[in-house]
Structure 1
Amino acid sequence: MIDPIAARARMSVTAAPVAAPVIDAATDQKLRDTAKQLEGLFVQQLFKAMRETVPQQEGIVSASAGEDMFTGLLDQHLAAETPSQWEGGLAESVYRQMRGRIAAASSPSPSSTTIR
């Protein structure tokens, strides 16, 4: 009887080196901008969800439409500024993923693999 684990261990797979994807500067900048916008949107939704956990009708004065608008704009501003304080945040990860997808879609053929 053939041991499948031992047989698998004897096989060695070598992949051809994958060249860095070639993307023009304009596309690269669009990818970075899109990733930053997505990160800002994520943080904005995070702030919105956090605000919904705070009770509204506590205090002397009830909230007005102006206050709701102000907190929405404040959340929007903070969402745009907060990611700039993060090192290697969500935007960088999204950028790498999108860049890899574009490179994979634009490559003429998949990388060759040899099984020995």
Structure 2
Amino acid sequence: RGDHRPVTDPVRPRASVVTVTPPVAPPIAPATDRALRETAKQLEGLFVQQLFKAMRETVPQQDGIVSANAGEDMFTGLMDQHLAAETPNQWEGGLAESVYRQLRGRLAAAPSPSPSSSTIR
């Protein structure tokens, strides 16, 4: 009884450590990469702009000394547009980066058109 041997289960072997490395996407043209990044950034800005717009709609409009008019609505719309363009610059690894990675992976995996199939006859 003084013998303390580890009990091993012959049915379940010990787990081994597996290192998983993310797949590396094939290279794409620099101009395509820049356009893809810019498009992802614009999409992120549009998303944030719509988010600001939805948030403003939840704030009740009060009748005070100065009531809201078309000029104020235009100003807040332009301000939201400016803030929406600048806000994602403060985020690290935001929506644009995720969209870029998804689109880049799909673009790199898509078969490139052969020169004979793109020629119009």
1:27 and 2:32 aligned:
yes
4+ long deviations beyond 3 Å: none
2:68 matched to 1:60? no
Q: Contact 2:40–2:96 (CA<8 Å) still a contact in 1?
A: yes
- 1:91 paired with 2:119, answer no
Root mean square deviation, CA, Å: 1.9
Deviations 1:32-75 (CA, angstroms, capped at 9, x unpaired) = 00000000000000000000001113422210100000000000
In 2: Cα distance, 1:50 partner to 1:19 partner: 39
User: When you count helix as a share of all residues, which structure comes out higher?
Assistant: 1
CA distance in 1, matches of 2:91, 2:60: 29
| Consecutive unaligned residues in structure 1, runs of 5 or more | 1-17, 109-116
> Which is worse superposed, 57-66 or 99-108?
99-108
Identical-residue share of aligned pairs (%): 84
Q: 1:19, 1:83 → 2: CA distance?
A: 26
The residue number in structure 1 matching 2:4 is none
TM-score (ref. length: structure 2): 0.70
Count residues with an aligned counterpart: 92
Where do 5+ consecutive residues of structure 2 fail to align? Answer: 1-22, 114-121
- Once residues 106 and 93 of structure 1 are traced to their aligned partners in structure 2, the CA distance between those partners, rounded to angstroms, is 22
Letter in 2 for 1:22: P
Conserved? CA contact 2:25–2:105, under 8 Å:
no
Q: With structure 1 as the length reference, what TM-score do the two structures score?
A: 0.73
One-letter code of the match for 2:56?
R
Q: Matched residues in 1 for 2:37 and 2:63: separation?
A: 42
